[in-house]
């Protein structure tokens, strides 16, 4: 899209345990550039609890967000007066944290006389590949994170169709629970992957739930239970037992994701014949090398392009929120200061749609 004035957007992300802010520029041709992207992780605060404690996360956001925003502006070389709009995650997420970020954005928008853009956290993930790789609509997204596991058809800004989701645990959550069961620490994904490198992925044949079904949904609860039962049967576990269980669990997950992705690409090909196929992967689990290798093999087989943004932009960050805000700002899709924070906000709800007269 050409002929539009460049826009500088401040993005704020506080939906879980990262306090983040960023400044992104969208030029007149629709191309984005990251001017700053500041993320403060709360891993140390939550490590002793084996997972994220919502109250602690919200408190940390209150303590650090103003400083993070100031740092993002400083690194970008802009003042708050110079940004064109304030974008903030308004859901889904831990409601205490979402409220901190959205309320801060509202205060800034009101004080500075700037537009507010309430961003769906999932839309921010969905649109990141357009910032990093210039991916054109339509494309297929696989979101695999601590809170979400789903396939989404991305047809345009605000135009999404969910093709499959998890019926129980998200994939990142399953990794965390297995890591906790095996006393590997938090966060679970990197811990399981690390110990699995020295394990035998064929020692245990864990179940692959739902793979006989045609639908594109995931289920990881039964797999997690099978891991627990195996660990209990072998207790006390040797170091090799732990490594083999982790490797076998990871192998099961990789096969599940690969099979589902193959089915999703087949559906895309049937619904969009002749259209270039792109599978965009987002979320922290995208860092897992075993899953990544399985997805690359599937895409090569299907004749599709696998797009994985840099890992710093796959996990929660302010740049993805700023970019989603920039995409919406270019279409005139702004929000009122009374916009309500949402702990749940499915990506394919009707209120994500952008009315034609707003463009």
Q: What is the pLDDT of residues 95-106, one digit of tens each?
A: 999 999 999 999
Q: Is 46 left (phi over 0), alpha (psi -120 to 50) or beta?
A: alpha
pTM: 0.93
Residue-wise over 193-213: b if at least 16 C-beta within 10 A, else e? bebbeebebeebebebbbeee
Q: What is the pLDDT of residue 212?
A: 87
Q: 139-308: CATH homologous superfamily?
A: ATPase, nucleotide binding domain (3.30.420.40)
CB atoms within 10 A of CB 300: 11
Residue 1: the pLDDT is 45
Q: Give residue limits of the domains in the chain.
A: 7-132+313-358, 139-308
For 7-132+313-358, CATH gives 3.30.420.40
What are the pLDDT digits (tens) for 244-295?
999 999 999 999 999 999 999 999 999 999 999 999 999 888 889 999 999 9
CA angle 3, 353, 163 (to 5 degrees): 115
pLDDT of 80 reads 98
Other CB atoms closer than 10 Å to residue 325's CB: what's the count?
35
pLDDT at 215: 94
Contact 244, 149 (CB under 8 A): no
Rounded (5°) CA angle 86-98-217: 110
Q: What is the pLDDT of residue 140?
A: 98
- pLDDT, residue 74, reads 98
Given a cut of 70, the residues of the chain with pLDDT beneath it are 1-3, 350-351, 355-359
């Amino acid at each position: 899209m050409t002929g539009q004035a460049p826009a500088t957007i401040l993005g704020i992300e506080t939906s879980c345990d990262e306090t983040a802010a960023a400044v992104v520029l969208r030029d007149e041709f629709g191309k984005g550039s990251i001017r700053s992207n500041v993320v403060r992780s709360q891993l140390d605060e939550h490590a002793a609890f084996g997972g994220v404690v919502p109250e602690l996360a919200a408190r940390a956001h209150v303590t650090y967000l103003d400083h993070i925003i100031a740092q993002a502006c400083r690194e970008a070389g802009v003042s708050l007066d110079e940004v064109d709009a304030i974008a903030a995650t308004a859901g889904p997420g831990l409601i205490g944290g979402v409220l901190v970020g959205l309320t801060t954005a509202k205060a800034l928008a009101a004080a500075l006389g700037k537009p507010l853009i309430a961003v769906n956290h999932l839309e921010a993930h969905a649109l990141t590949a357009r910032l990093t790789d210039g991916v054109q609509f339509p494309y297929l997204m696989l979101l695999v994170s601590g809170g979400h596991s789903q396939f989404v058809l991305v047809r345009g800004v605000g135009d999404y169709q969910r093709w499959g989701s998890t019926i129980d645990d998200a994939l990142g959550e399953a990794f965390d629970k297995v890591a906790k069961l095996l006393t590997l620490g938090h966060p679970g994904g990197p811990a399981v992957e690390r110990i699995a490198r020295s394990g035998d992925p064929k020692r245990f044949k864990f179940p692959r739930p739902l793979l006989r079904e045609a639908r594109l949904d995931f289920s990881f609860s039964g797999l997690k239970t099978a891991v627990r039962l195996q660990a209990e049967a072998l207790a006390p576990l040797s170091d090799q037992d732990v490594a083999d269980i982790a490797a076998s669990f990871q192998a099961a997950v990789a096969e599940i994701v690969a099979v589902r992705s193959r089915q999703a690409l087949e559906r895309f090909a049937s619904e969009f014949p002749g259209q270039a196929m792109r599978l965009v992967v987002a979320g922290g689990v995208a860092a897992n090398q075993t899953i990544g290798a399985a997805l690359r093999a599937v895409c090569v087989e299907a004749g599709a392009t696998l797009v994985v943004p840099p890992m710093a932009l796959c996990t929660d960050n302010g740049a993805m929120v700023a970019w989603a805000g920039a995409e919406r700002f270019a279409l005139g899709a702004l929000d009122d200061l009374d916009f309500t924070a949402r702990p749940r906000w499915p990506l394919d709800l009707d209120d994500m749609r952008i009315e034609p007269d707003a463009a």
